Chain A
Amino acid sequence: MAIFLAKRFTMMLLTMIAASFLVFAVCEFTPGSVARKSLGPFATQEVDLLTRKLKANDPLLVRYGRWAGVLLGVIPDPLQDPDTGLNFKDSRGAQYFGNFGYSTLNKLPVNDVIWDRLGNTAILGGLAFLLIVPLSIIFGIFSGLKEGGVLDRVLSIVSITFTSIPEFASGVFLVTLFVILWPVLPGTSPLDTGSGWSIPSQLVLPVAVLVIYDFGYVARMIRVSMIGVMEKPYIRTAVLKGMTTRQVVLGHALRNAMIAPFTVLLLQINFLISGVVVTELVFAYPGFGRLLLDASLFGDIATIEAATLITVAIAVVTQFIGDIGYMLLDPRIRLR
């Protein structure tokens, strides 16, 4: 057990290091140098000067080492050196653990921008997740119980239809319905109460869009798994023994049916953190997805690197949790 966890933990660290290198390399290989991106695409003489000051022509590995050093707080951030003339200031100083550098888009340290946005998206994604889990489990179980039955047909049609509506379409549809035709909800979600709409009311529509888009997909996964389990001999035995459907499902089928969809469910966390761009754009929601989109379009490398690293970290951690959950659900894994 302990060995299993230790192994997993080491894997997690290695993944993070590998991912951080990849993220760094990809960002560095995009057209234009760091100096150019700090000064804007059409600045002239200053670029060479800054390139020299930042030692941006060093080999990739050296630069990666320097970047990782800044991130870990081993060395100060060269961009904040007053000599560069960039006038980048960070109230935490130039050297501390978790220094993601300076956002050229927002003209603020990345740390001043990113956590609020991540928090906002966590609220949005968290609420959606809380609804997606029970909804998809209920839909999945009921349609998987009797493959091809009327209930299965109906639930399947609902799930497939909802999943195939893109987020921007359902967003516009819901706004037309609940904002314009029947005005009970606010049309945008800037997360401030100055307009008289409460924060919870502002969350309803974006959460609804995410749930509508996502739950059907997970429900389909659970359905397939449920069908597989329901055909197993031990279920037939249980039914023949005279157990009620309820007892069979809760006592025998559910645990086994959830093993595979469990991973799928955890993957939704990643989707809900980094895949909410469209929803956030439609509702002017100040979240992580929109920050990442703006940063990518703008070429704000420090923010992209930070956001990607955080996304990777979330993915790795959910995977770790997934492994533990898997282990608890399926005793065979513990023996490997």
Chain B
Amino acid sequence: MDKKSHPYIPTLLGQLNEGAISRRDFLRRSTLLGMSATAAYAMAGMVDPSTSAKAENLPKGGNLRIGMRCMEIKDPHLADFAEKSNVVRQVCEYLTITDRNNITHPYLLEKWDVSDDLKTWTLHIRKDVKWRKGRSLTADDVIWNLKRVCDPKVGSSMLGLFTGYLVEEFATGEKDDKGNPKKSSRLWSEKAIEKVDDHTVRLNTSSPQIAVAEHLFHYPMFILDPEENGSFGAGANGTGPFEIVEYTVGKGAKYKARTDYWGDGPYVDTFEFVDLGDSPGAGIAAMASKQVDGLSEADAVQINSMKSFPHVAVYKVETTQTIVARMHPDVDQFKDKRVRQAMRHAIDRDKVIQTVLLGAGTPAEDHHVAPSHPEYAALPKYGRDIDKAKKLLADAGFPDGFEYDMVTRPDPIWELNTAQALAEQFKDIGIKVNIKSLPSAQYWEVWTDAPFSLTAWGHRPLAIMTLGLAYRSNAAWNESHFSNAEFDTLLTQAEGILDPKERSKVMAKIETIMQDEGPIVQPFWRIFSTVMDKKVKGFDLHPSQYIFAHNYAVAMA
């Protein structure tokens, strides 16, 4: 065994041999600790799919067009939808990459090392990476990016992920309009992000954290050129495989392949995103007439109408992608936790899955931790219970229910359909939900501020990531305005526990808090699907909805 590997690896290997953990769990955890995926696969007695299926014989050249909404990109570090990050991703890159099997590999990093106490992370940056404009990638570039996302003025969602181990909250001493002390965030120490040499960066964390490598793949965590200071558009610099030559909101993006890219690919000469608007029929029509070679996403209904096209291949992947109806606890109607509980008891999950997803999903349990997450703890199941829900509502002071507006968006269509299915079921306990469907562009501007809305959440390999992003008190993406000190403490605690069995014990407490007083109604986990023309080679559907155009090739007719 590699002498330098983390001391916990033998324990993991023991657990694997005893059958206490699955091979997939072993792979996931040993790679998190800095072991290379190839070595981990070998140790688990498996063949690394990324080396065996490496497509050296992919055809070269040609143009690839993928249909996707193209929205305004203010700053890549603020990217808050997979679509936005897909536009940037072809140009700028991450330090790590989590593959479709949820195994994390180095990307712009050569490797990383973790100390025994999980508090010192040493990141070794590849030495062969060059910016498109000629310079080499250095530790200074990486540090600038890491520090920038930790700056509360920038407002990146990375802040929520980094809080608790790299970033701490402090009282500024000022008071806001209501007289509450204002809080802000800062790095917990001068040495939190430390330069070791030109190609090595060290993260010194205040508490143990296991998910550092996965956090570095969260979609705003692009490594940008410090000289461009967060701006992005045609001609933007990057270390990635493509140069972006054109970007028009609502129309599309055009890219040209780099010839001096450090990694594999790109195989195509040019790549394009085409914006097909909010009408789901337009995607079908564009696929039918081969105006695009694929869509970034196609829902069950669209797939149904496209599966008869001979040139179309359907891709599906199970994800921890979901949708939550979340309520601001600072609004009168939702202030009492019994109201929120009643909303949870009002839902018939199987029915929602059948109507909205045509069955392509599994029921969720309102705590945003998926059964496929390694730290999932099974709590007692509960189903629809109208009488209990009505009683809870009455106890909370709404015996006749109430009426409220729910903000949502029409594209993708399954989101609006979910809103309608939920509204129909809330009606049975006397809550009349008026659906306010905003155009996507407008929805994206208000999604963290609307008092009651329905938001789709992307796939994350670890539950602690989503919880840190969405429900930690200071998180930029805390759209539900949920704030619970006990929850925050437990979450920080969970983030430091390597053993998923131990972590799931803490997780059970977190899940219970979410079910008891949490802000969300969560109907299902979604199976993600899309379509590609059969001539597109090397395509692999990533559960995070990420598009990596440099891996794809086009077979010439």
Contact = CB atoms under 8 A, between A and B. Distances in A.
A associates with B:
yes
A31 to B, nearest CB: 13
Contacts of A106: 249-250
A294 B285 contact: no
B288 interface: yes
Contacts of A281: 277-279, 282
A282 interface: yes
Interface string B431-456: 00000001101100110011000000
Contacts of A43: 449
Interface string B263-304: 000000000101111110110111111111000000000000
A282 B439 contact: no
B190 interface: no
Contacts of B281: 172, 175, 282
Contact of A187 (B277, B278, B286, B439): B286
Interface residues of B, number: 35
Interface in B438-477: 438-439, 441-442, 445-446, 449-450
Counting chain A CB atoms within 10 Å of each CB, the highest count among B278, B282, B449 belongs to B282
Interface string B39-75: 0000000000000000000000001010000001000
B277 A290 contact: yes
Contact of B449 (A42, A175, A195, A197): A42
Counting chain A CB atoms within 10 Å of each CB, the highest count among B252, B276, B291 belongs to B291
Contacts of B450: 42
A180 interface: yes
A283 interface: yes
B291 A45 contact: no
A53 to B, nearest CB: 19
A239 B155 CA distance: 83
Given A106-B250, A297-B439, A282 B282 contact: yes
A186 B441 contact: no
Interface string A263-304: 000000000000000000111101000100010011100000
A293 to B, nearest CB: 9
A133 B292 CA distance: 35
Counting chain A CB atoms within 10 Å of each CB, the highest count among B251, B279, B450 belongs to B279
B228 interface: no
A186 B284 CA distance: 11
B289 A283 contact: no
B177 interface: yes
Contact of B282 (A45, A188, A192, A194): A188
B486 to A, nearest CB: 28
A185 interface: yes
Interface string A90-125: 000000000000000111000000000000000000
Task: Give the interface SS of chain B, mostly helix, strand, loop or mixed.
Answer: loop
A190 interface: yes
B442 A187 contact: no
The bracket for how many chain A residues form the interface is 20 to 34
Contacts of A187: 282, 284-289, 291
A40 B275 CA distance: 23
B441 A195 contact: no
A322 B450 CA distance: 49
Given A106-B249, A172-B281, A284-B277, A195 B292 contact: yes
A179 interface: yes
A87 to B, nearest CB: 10
Interface in B64-110: 65, 72
A284 B251 contact: no
B255 to A, nearest CB: 12
Contact of B251 (A41, A183, A190, A282): A190
Nearest to A195: B291
B249 A188 contact: no
Contacts of B275: 190, 284
B274 A183 contact: no
A40 B177 contact: no
Contacts of A41: 446, 449
A186 B291 contact: yes
A283 B282 contact: yes
Nearest to A183: B289
Contacts of B442: 40, 105, 297-299
Contacts of B309: 180
Contact of B441 (A105, A188, A194): A105
B249 A195 contact: no
Contacts of B65: 194-195
B283 to A, nearest CB: 9
A166 to B, nearest CB: 14
Contacts of A286: 250-251
Contacts of A299: 442
A194 B276 CA distance: 14
A186 B276 contact: no
A188 B287 CA distance: 9
A236 B446 CA distance: 70
A59 B450 CA distance: 31
Interface in A285-335: 286, 290, 294, 297-299
Contacts of B251: 190, 286
Interface string B302-322: 000000010000000000000
Contact of B291 (A172, A188, A282): A188
A67 to B, nearest CB: 23
A27 to B, nearest CB: 16
A194 B271 CA distance: 10
Contacts of B439: 294, 297-298
Contacts of A190: 251-252, 274-276, 291
Counting chain A CB atoms within 10 Å of each CB, the highest count among B65, B285, B286, B446 belongs to B285
Contacts of A282: 279, 281-282
A298 B410 CA distance: 13
Given A188-B276, A282-B279, A298-B441, A195 B288 contact: no
A40 B443 CA distance: 10
Contacts of A188: 276, 282, 285-286, 289, 291
A299 B274 CA distance: 25
A194 B277 contact: no
Contacts of A40: 442, 445-446, 449
Counting chain A CB atoms within 10 Å of each CB, the highest count among B277, B292, B309, B446 belongs to B277
A276 B80 CA distance: 33
A294 B275 CA distance: 14
Nearest to A181: B288
Nearest to B305: A180
B276 A284 contact: yes
A188 to B, nearest CB: 5
A284 B272 CA distance: 16
A286 B275 CA distance: 10
A45 B249 contact: no
Contacts of A45: 177
Contacts of A175: 281, 285, 288
A284 B278 CA distance: 8
B498 to A, nearest CB: 40
Contacts of A290: 277
A172 B282 CA distance: 10
Q: Top 5 nearest A-B pairs by Cβ distance? A: A187-B285, A42-B449, A195-B291, A187-B289, A186-B289
Given A105-B442, A179-B289, A195-B274, 7 more contacts: A106-B249, A172-B281, A186-B285, A197-B289, A282-B281, A282-B282, A297-B438
30 contacts: A42-B446, A107-B72, A107-B249, A172-B281, A175-B285, A175-B288, A179-B289, A180-B288, A186-B286, A186-B289, A186-B291, A187-B285, A187-B286, A187-B287, A187-B289, A188-B286, A188-B289, A188-B291, A190-B251, A192-B274, A195-B65, A195-B289, A195-B290, A195-B292, A197-B289, A281-B278, A281-B279, A283-B282, A286-B251, A290-B277
